Amino acid sequence: MPFDRSGPDLTAHALLAWRVWEERLSLSAAVRIRSARAKALKYLEKSQDANGRWIPLWFGNQATLDDENPTYGTSKVLMAMEGPAKKRGMEWLVAAQNRDGGWGGAAGMESSIEETALAVTALAAHSGEISDAIERGTKWLIARIESSEMAASPIGFYFAKLWYFEKQYPLIFTVGALSQVARASRP
């Protein structure tokens, strides 16, 4: 089935989970996780496209070519990625930012709360400082909050392109982004 295969976004989730649990496991389990982590990182390096982005398996954007959402995929992978591939992913994400300060499903697509919040979260988690891209994205999110424009955008599909709106994603993703920016702002 097209939805029953490996995907960069799913692999990133596994890497993040392993990071949390590794210290709490037996030595043999921790060794297996280290081996699996190395394989997962190698998979993510291979699945990164020439532009530096990752295409997620489960989440798309109905306004993009082929319904893909490289902003979602790249943001999720950056939360777990290490090495040179991470740098290329961050460069793509910064270059994909819209003039209005937000992000859409891909470069040049209309900005959404979900994609902007995910991009800000990923960049703030790894930048070490508040960059222009993070600041502009944060301002874009705050403007949406202040204007009460927190409507959900169609961000995902399971299979057969069944688009859905998750009304909690704008709130959840924005709180995550603003929390990450606050952590990155601390000296």
What is the per-residue pLDDT for 73?
96
Q: Under a CB-based contact definition with an 8 Å cutoff, are residues 69 and 61 in contact?
A: yes
What is the per-residue pLDDT for 34?
92
What is the per-residue pLDDT for 1?
55
In words, the CATH class of domain 8-185 is mainly alpha
Report residues of the chain scoring pLDDT below 50. Answer: none
**What dihedral angle (degrees, nearest 10) is formed by the CA atoms of 38, 159, 48, 141?**
-100
What is the per-residue pLDDT for 130?
74
In this structure, the number of other CB atoms found within 10 A of the CB of residue 95 comes to 12
Who contacts 82 (Cβ-Cβ below 8 Å, separation ≥6)?
A: 41
What is the per-residue pLDDT for 94?
96
Q: Under a CB-based contact definition with an 8 Å cutoff, are residues 8 and 44 in contact?
A: yes
Range list of H helices, the chain = 8-21, 27-47, 70-78, 84-95, 113-127, 132-146, 169-185
pTM of the model: 0.92
